[in-house]
Amino acid sequence: MISNIVFAILLIAGIGGFVYNAGKIRRNILLGRDVNRSDRKAERWKVMGLVALGQKKMFKNPLPAFLHLCLYAAFVITQIELIEIFTDGVSGKHRIFRADLGAFYTFMISFIEVLSILAFVATFIFLARRNLLKIPRFVKDEMTGWPKLDANIILIAEIILICFIFMMNGADEVLYQRKLSHAPYLEDNSFGFLISQHVGPLLFGGMSDSSLHLVERIGWWGHIIMVFAFLNYLPFSKHFHIILAFPNTYFSNLESKGKFTNMESVTNEVKLMMDPNADPFAAPAPAEGEVQRFGAKDVQDLTWKNLLDSYTCTECGRCTAACPANQTGKLLSPRKIMMDTRDRLDEVGKNIDKHGKDYDDGKSLLGDYITEEELWACTSCNACVEECPVNIDPLSIIMDMRRYLVMEESKTPSELTGMMTNIENNGAPWQFSQADRLNWKDEA
């Protein structure tokens, strides 16, 4: 009875804590400017199905894709087992679905066990890739300190979680064989789960009855505590991608990657400038709502999709590995752009919690996190956007910050000022007269 109450408290606290912190992230994301991503719903579901659920973009790189798939499948399928664990935990029963589901139950748990073993192996390989092989994209400048620790914590937690699963099933198997399990007895001598029916006796066969009960309980409680701990770790970790990948791909940009947004505020100004009937002395129309700055200086100037992107990023670094600027030693790393955006947004969120909504800490994403040098190194080639397995768009953040630099602060690299002056004066980025545009026709 006490264990039921403890479980219920754990359940409520675990889910409550997650909902509370996820709510804060939602609030932070909604600090961004509006952008319409509610159109073309059928297409959006399809993109989400292919890219998030189907992991389509992961498979450009088959080895990590396969290893990741092992973890992903184990994670998704294990959720089904959680239904039973929750039901058992609240009701005080043990393996409540086994009697009714019969062979299907054995199949499901066996399936989960096989995936767990694959995930177990994959996790060790992942740890090795990060810490021993030091795959280049995992050891870039932005991957020291917390991001590195975060990645290792997640992997080690996964290993512990899987150990608990096999303690639980393995010890229970031995107990079942000794007719001491709390599970309902069918006319058999084994649960028949593919892995634990062998591993259980091997590991725990020599233990006393009481030790077995202890191991089984440690496994069971350890598993569920890890699940709740993991759930509550997510909002503070890059690992939140396991949830946000779904909305993030649903709200993907469905336009051609080369199409950059046309700023509406600018369109209005330009139309006015080009309208021969416009009264040059007329007082400007009162602005509707708050006057927005051109481009982005801080996270609130970005769209909510940019901000959702930042929380979705799991710092895998495929973007940075594909970035031509990064490959040639420039400061720009698209992954860092996403991490900076998220870290700054977290900071803004904490300021709101502490000091209220209108507090200004005098810092901004541009300057305190991202430097001009990074922004000007971008070739806008879209390799980062193409690579991202969850359709994050670092390029649109870079472009919005360039817009701020150029249009609000006139901080344009001098050669680009020359280029722009030429376009204004003679309609070409170079200093050639527009009257000479057709000269090529008669040149030999």
Give me the residues paired with residue 303 across strands.
Answer: 33
Q: Does 429 bind other proteins (CB under 8 A)?
A: yes
Q: Which of 376, 391, 392, 393 binds other proteins (CB under 8 A)?
A: 376
Cα–Cα distances (Å) from 60 to 51, 67, 121, 257, in that order, read: 12, 13, 22, 18
Q: Does 297 bind other proteins (CB under 8 A)?
A: no
Q: Which of 120, 294, 304, 369 binds other proteins (CB under 8 A)?
A: 294
HSE at residue 244, side-chain half, CA atoms within 13 A, is 24
Q: Does 65 bind other proteins (CB under 8 A)?
A: no
Q: Does 404 bind other proteins (CB under 8 A)?
A: yes
Using CA atoms, how far apart are residues 362 and 297, in angstroms rounded to an integer?
12
Q: What H or E segment, with its residue span, contains residue 398?
A: helix 394-403
Please give the backbone phi and psi of residue 332, each rounded to the nearest 5 degrees, phi first.
-65, 130
C-beta closer to other proteins: residue 4 or 425: 425
User: Least distance from C-beta 44 to other proteins, angstroms?
Assistant: 19
Q: Does 381 bind other proteins (CB under 8 A)?
A: yes
Q: Does 332 bind other proteins (CB under 8 A)?
A: yes
Please give the backbone phi and psi of residue 33, each rounded to the nearest 5 degrees, phi first.
-70, 160
Q: Which of 41, 259, 354, 357 binds other proteins (CB under 8 A)?
A: 259
Q: Does 188 bind other proteins (CB under 8 A)?
A: no
| Assigned token pair, 202 | 């091997």
Taking alpha carbons only, the member of 158, 148, 151, 92 closest to residue 121 is: 158
Give the position of tokens 């309208």: 275
C-beta closer to other proteins: residue 95 or 402: 402
Q: Does 424 bind other proteins (CB under 8 A)?
A: yes
Q: Does 254 bind other proteins (CB under 8 A)?
A: no
Q: Which of 14, 32, 219, 295 binds other proteins (CB under 8 A)?
A: 295
Each residue 44-63 as x (binds other proteins by CB under 8 A) or -, in order, gives ----------------x---
Q: Which stretch binds other proteins (CB under 8 A): 29-37, 62-70, 187-195, 415-423?
A: 415-423
Using CA atoms, how far apart are residues 331 and 408, in angstroms rounded to an integer?
23
User: Least distance from C-beta 239 to other proteins, angstroms?
Assistant: 27
Q: Does 272 bind other proteins (CB under 8 A)?
A: no
* Residue pair 313/342 in contact by the 8 Å Cβ criterion: yes
* Residue pair 90/1 in contact by the 8 Å Cβ criterion: no
Q: Does 34 bind other proteins (CB under 8 A)?
A: no
Using CA atoms, how far apart are residues 325 and 230, in angstroms rounded to an integer?
36
Q: Which of 322, 345, 348, 392 binds other proteins (CB under 8 A)?
A: 322
Binders in 202-241 for other proteins, by CB under 8 A: none
Q: Which residues contact 98 (CB under 8 A, 6 or more apart)?
A: 105, 183, 184, 186, 191
| Assigned token pair, 96 | 């409540």
Q: Does 267 bind other proteins (CB under 8 A)?
A: yes
Q: Does 324 bind other proteins (CB under 8 A)?
A: yes
| Assigned token pair, 203 | 């590991």
Using CA atoms, how far apart are residues 301 and 288, in angstroms rounded to an integer?
17
Interface with other proteins by CB under 8 A: which residues?
A: 60, 255-260, 262-263, 266-267, 269-271, 273-274, 294-295, 322, 324-325, 327-332, 373, 376-383, 385-386, 399, 402-407, 412-413, 415-416, 418-420, 423-424, 427-430, 432, 434-441, 443
